């Protein structure tokens, strides 16, 4: 019996399990992600798929000779800190299971098929989401990428070098990109759209515009007991004002979201007034104008609060991606192949969103009964994962046959 996607997920359930946060912490080129890469290579080789790692650390497992017009599927194996088991790995395991299913029925692809694992999709280590696909497509300057630093001060250049890649070769990879004729990513749904529709599988319509901004507030480090309130320049105050402004600003722009999920005071002691506070803002809206409006309002509030406390603030855009509308032809073809699967918009970013600017791209979503994602409660029933595999195999067969 070939492995199901659920079997394959079970096989990696210990890798990167985060006992402190719960869920999984698997980040680009860290120990857990490297172990998953080895696991993926072994699974691919056991299926006689030829494994290649491209210049940017993305892994490709080829069924057929790598060549132009390939039908590529896959996702990522990294997670957010304390993330769920499905975001990313379901797309990889479903792709392997779809290859098994197609082979079991004797299908022989006319066009090559590849299963891809993109590097550091969540940006959980180096801060920029979809890093592997951005590098592949030239959507990030390789010099800027090489300088990205993880929380321990390790640069991306150092991390890829330790993983056996040449950091000088990071950057747009026209040879790899030219092989991709179409890209189809299967993903756990990150909301309750399919639950509400009563459908196990859907297709993606669009992705919100979204980006990340780092605010660094600088005040004066000092003693929590000995410093009079009037003498303080505490950067935690404007940082807190930013958190509240994010909710306020997003509630004024229809359909937008703004989140502070990470805030780091330096040096970070209970009895210490911080000298600096870094705050990361994630903002999303239907389009660029909406996103900018939200970020501009939050920035204005942060600057005003900083000035009031005698602090300074710098703002750095760490990543941005415009609204994605998936290729209508491939979306409709995919939905029709699945007997009229519903199309859903999503607020989550994906490598498919990056690839969509270069090749016809589609996404399949698998129902998530909790509607939760980026947290341990993220879930998909085995039967729905199996339905996702059947759907993916159907689409691959039509595209590659």
Three-class DSSP category at 386: helix
Please give the torsion angle defined by the CA atoms of residues 14, 20, 26 and 31, in that order, rounded to the nearest 10 degrees: -80
Between 88 and 221, CB nearer to Mn ion: 88
Q: Does the CA dihedral 34-40-44-49 come out positive or negative?
A: negative
- Least Å from the CB of residue 102 to ligand GLV: 28
Which of 49, 348, 354, 387 is the binder for ligand GLV (CB under 6 A)?
A: 348
Q: Based on the shown chain and the rule CB under 6 A, indicate whether residue 122 belongs to the binding site for ligand GLV.
A: yes
Q: Which is nearer to ligand GLV, 122 or 189 (CB)?
A: 122
234 binds, among ligand GLV, Mn ion, none (CB under 5 to 8 A by kind): none
The contacts found for 239-244 with CB under 8 angstroms, 24 or more apart, are: 239/215, 239/263, 239/265, 239/277, 239/279, 241/301, 241/302, 241/304, 241/305, 242/215, 242/279, 242/281, 242/298, 242/301, 242/302, 242/305, 243/279
Residues 128-147 that bind ligand GLV (CB under 6 A): 129
Q: How much helix, strand and coil, in percent to the nearest 5, is found in the chain?
A: 35, 25, 40
Quick count: other Cβ atoms within 10 Å of Cβ 31?
A: 11
Binding at 129: pick from Mn ion, ligand GLV, none (beta carbon under 5-8 Å per type): ligand GLV
Look at residue 397 and give the partner it binds from ligand GLV, Mn ion, none, a contact being a CB closer than 5 to 8 Å depending on partner kind: none
Q: State CA 298 to chain mean position distance.
A: 24
Binding of ligand GLV by 321 (CB under 6 A)? no
Q: Which of 74, 132, 349, 360 binds ligand GLV (CB under 6 A)?
A: 349
Distances (CA, A) of 314 to 2, 156, 317: 54, 23, 10
Stretch 77-106 residues interacting with Mn ion (CB under 5 A): 87-88
* Residue 321 interaction partner, one of Mn ion, ligand GLV, none, beta carbon < 5-8 Å per kind: none
Q: Select 353 or 360, whichever has its Cβ closest to ligand GLV.
A: 353
Q: Which does 349 bind (CB under 5 to 8 A by kind): ligand GLV, Mn ion, none?
A: ligand GLV
Distance CA 263, CA 281 (A): 9
Residue 125 vs 232, nearer CB to ligand GLV: 125
Q: Choose the one of ligand GLV, Mn ion, none that binds residue 88, judging by a C-beta under 5 to 8 angstroms depending on kind.
A: Mn ion
Q: Site residues (CB under 6 A) for ligand GLV?
A: 122, 129, 348-349
């Amino acid at each position: 019996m070939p492995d199901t996607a659920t079997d394959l997920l079970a096989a990696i359930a210990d890798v990167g399990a985060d006992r402190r946060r719960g869920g999984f912490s698997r980040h680009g080129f860290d120990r857990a992600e490297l172990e998953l890469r080895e696991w993926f290579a072994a699974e691919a080789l056991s299926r006689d798929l030829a494994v290649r790692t491209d210049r940017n650390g993305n892994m490709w497992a080829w069924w057929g000779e790598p060549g132009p017009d390939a039908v590529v599927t896959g996702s990522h194996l990294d997670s957010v800190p304390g993330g769920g088991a499905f975001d990313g790995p379901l797309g990889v395991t479903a792709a392997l299971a779809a290859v098994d299913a197609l082979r079991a029925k004797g299908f022989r692809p006319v066009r090559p098929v590849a299963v891809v694992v993109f590097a550091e999709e969540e940006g959980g280590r180096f801060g920029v989401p979809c890093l592997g696909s951005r590098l592949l497509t030239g959507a990030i300057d390789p010099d800027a990428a090489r300088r990205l630093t993880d929380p321990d001060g390790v640069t991306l250049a150092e991390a890829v070098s330790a993983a056996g890649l040449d950091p000088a070769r990071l950057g747009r990879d026209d040879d790899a990109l030219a092989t991709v004729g179409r890209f189809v990513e299967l993903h756990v749904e990150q909301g309750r759209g399919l639950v509400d529709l009563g459908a196990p599988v859907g297709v993606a319509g669009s992705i919100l515009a979204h980006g990340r901004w780092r605010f660094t507030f600088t005040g004066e480090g000092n003693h929590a007991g000995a410093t009079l309130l009037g003498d303080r320049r505490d950067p935690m105050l404007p940082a807190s004002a930013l958190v509240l402004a994010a909710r306020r600003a997003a509630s004024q722009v229809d359909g937008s979201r703004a989140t502070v999920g990470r805030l780091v005071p330096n040096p970070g002691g209970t009895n210490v007034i911080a000298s600096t506070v870094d705050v990361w803002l994630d903002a999303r809206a239907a389009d660029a104008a909406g996103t900018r409006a939200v970020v501009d309002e939050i920035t204005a509030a942060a600057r005003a609060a900083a000035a009031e406390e005698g602090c300074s603030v710098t703002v750095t855009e760490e990543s941005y991606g415009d609204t994605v509308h998936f290729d209508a032809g491939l979306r409709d073809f995919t939905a029709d192949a699945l007997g009229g699967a519903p199309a859903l918009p999503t607020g989550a970013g994906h490598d498919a969103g990056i690839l969509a600017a270069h090749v016809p791209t589609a996404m399949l979503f698998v129902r998530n009964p909790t509607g939760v994602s980026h947290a341990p409660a993220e879930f998909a029933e085995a039967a729905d994962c199996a339905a996702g595999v059947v759907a993916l195999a159907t689409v691959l067969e039509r595209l590659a046959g």
